[in-house]
Amino acid sequence: MTIHLKYWKQDGPDVPGHFEEYTLNTVNEHMSFLEMLDVLNEELQLEGKDPVEFDYDCREGICGSCNLVINGQAHGPKAKVACCQLHMRNYKNGDKITIEPPRAAAFPIIKDLVVNRGAFDRIIEAGGYVSVKTGSAQEANAIPIEKEKSDAAFDYATCIGCGACVAACPNASASLFTGAKLAHLNHVPQGEVERSNRVVAMVDQMKEEGFGDCSNFAECEAVCPVGISISAIAEMRRDYMKAMFS
């Protein structure tokens, strides 16, 4: 099939960017979206043009590297998949597709569709862990955890750190990402001890990085490729207030 592409080109963080257009006639419905971009880049190179840069690694929806905004939607039209798992069978002949990087002050553009998400690392660095040294753990089955609780923790732990929630949020808030890590650790007993210090450290870091506030638009939940529930944000707020006033 034929697809009309419009994609963002930008040489670096401090230079202006622009859209470029290209019509690709060799798209096949079994291709993944990123394979379609590979094909685009092969054609561009053979024509002596500059390929478009985009981030990826696993191409299995688990590493969180890919984060394209496709026709205005983070990760594209299909719910609960990262864009590397989006297949061209979701499009039809003659479709127009616009591809942009996630736009947020806290995610400066490196080149074209590639952004710097170092802010996410720094949020985890501020407190997204259980402080247990290697070798100081007790026997694993000494900490029984109700299956339901453990499953709930798991649902939050699956965040892949892609940043789609930030891209989709009108305020460019990182609340879903931050809330997910907090909820994961808070739902297991191992995380309980540091609960209130953790929430304060991570939320403060999130603010410092220049992410916006959450105004309950819930756009984040809608685009999240692993379906992190927005209830994580409510819990984060409650915990933050509690920690501040106790």
Partner 1 sequence: MKLDSKIPEGPLEQKWSKYKKDMKLVAPNNKRKYEVIVVGTGLAGGAAAASMAELGYNVKSFCIQDSARRAHSIAAQGGINAAKNYPNDGDSIWGLFYDTIKGGDYRSREANVYRLAEVANEIIDQAVAQGVPFAREYSGLLANRSFGGAQVSRTFYARGQTGQQLLLGAYQAMMRQVHAGKIEYLPRHEMLDVVIIGGQARGIITRNLVTGEIKSWEADAVVLATGGYGNVFYLSTNAKNSNVTAAWRAHKKGALFANPCYVQVHPTCIPVSGDYQSKLTLMSESLRNDGRVWVPKKKGDDRHPNDIPEEDRFYYLEEKYPSFGNLVPRDVASRNAKIVCDEGLGVGETGLAVYLDFRDAIKRDGRETVEAKYGNLFDMYENIAGENPYERPMRIYPAVHYTMGGLWVDYNLMTNIPGLFATGEANFSDHGANRLGASALMQGLSDGYFVLPATIGNYLADVKPGTRHGTDHTAFVEAEKAAQENIDKLLSINGKRTIVDFHRTLGKIVWDKIGIARNKEDLESAIKEIQELREEFWANVYVPGEKNNYNKYLEFASRVADFFELAELMAKDALDREESCGCHLREEYQSEEGEAIRNDEDFSYVAAWEYKGINGELKEELHKENLEFEFVELKQRSYK
Footprint of ligand SF4 (CB under 6 A)? 159-165, 176-177, 180, 224-226, 228
Q: Which of 62, 110, 157, 243 binds ligand FES (CB under 6 A)?
A: 62
CB of 108 closer than 8 Å to CB of 13: yes
- Interacting residue with partner 1 among 18, 135, 216, 246 (CB under 8 A): 135
Interface with partner 1, residue 147, by CB under 8 A? yes
Residues 151-180 that bind ligand FES (CB under 6 A): 160
Tokens representing residue 35 in the block: 């394979």
Burial of 51 (0-12, 13-18, 19+ CB in 10 A): middle
Report what 82 binds from ligand FES, partner 1, ligand SF4, none; CB cut-off 5-8 Å by kind: ligand FES
Q: Kindly tell me which of 75 and 187 has the beta carbon lying closer to ligand FES.
A: 75
On whether the CB atoms of residues 160 and 61 are closer than 8 A, the answer is yes
- Footprint on residues 10-39 left by partner 1 (CB under 8 A): 11-12, 28, 30-32, 34-36, 38-39
Q: Which stretch binds ligand FES (CB under 6 A): 64-72, 89-97, 129-137, 142-150?
A: 64-72
Q: How does strand 109-111 pair with strand 114-115? A: antiparallel
What the block records as the tokens of 1 is 């099939």
**Which among 178, 194, 174, 177 is positioned nearest to 186, based on CA atoms?**
194
φ and ψ at residue 84, rounded to 5 degrees: -70, -15
82 forms part of the interface with ligand FES (CB under 6 A): yes
Binding mask 159-198 for partner 1 (x = CB under 8 A): -xx----------------------xx--x-xx-------
* Residue 209 CA to its chain's centroid (Å): 16
Q: Is the Cβ of residue 81 or residue 243 nearer to partner 1 in the bound state?
A: 81
Which one of ligand SF4, ligand FES, partner 1, none interacts with residue 224, CB within 5 to 8 A by kind? ligand SF4
Interacting residue with ligand FES among 54, 56, 91, 177 (CB under 6 A): 56
Cβ neighbours for 10, distance < 8 A, ≥ 6 positions apart: 16, 17, 18, 101, 109, 111, 112
Contacting partner 1 (CB under 8 A), which of 25, 60, 170, 246? 60
Structure token digits, residue 123: 């949020």
CB 150 within 8 A of CB 141: no
The set of residues, in sequence order, having a beta carbon less than 8 Å from that of 150 and lying 6+ positions away, is 187, 188
Is 53 within 8 Å of 41 (Cβ atoms)? no
Minimum CB–partner distance for residue 166 and partner 1 (Å): 14
44 binds ligand FES (CB under 6 A): no
Footprint of ligand FES (CB under 6 A): 56-59, 61-66, 82, 84, 160
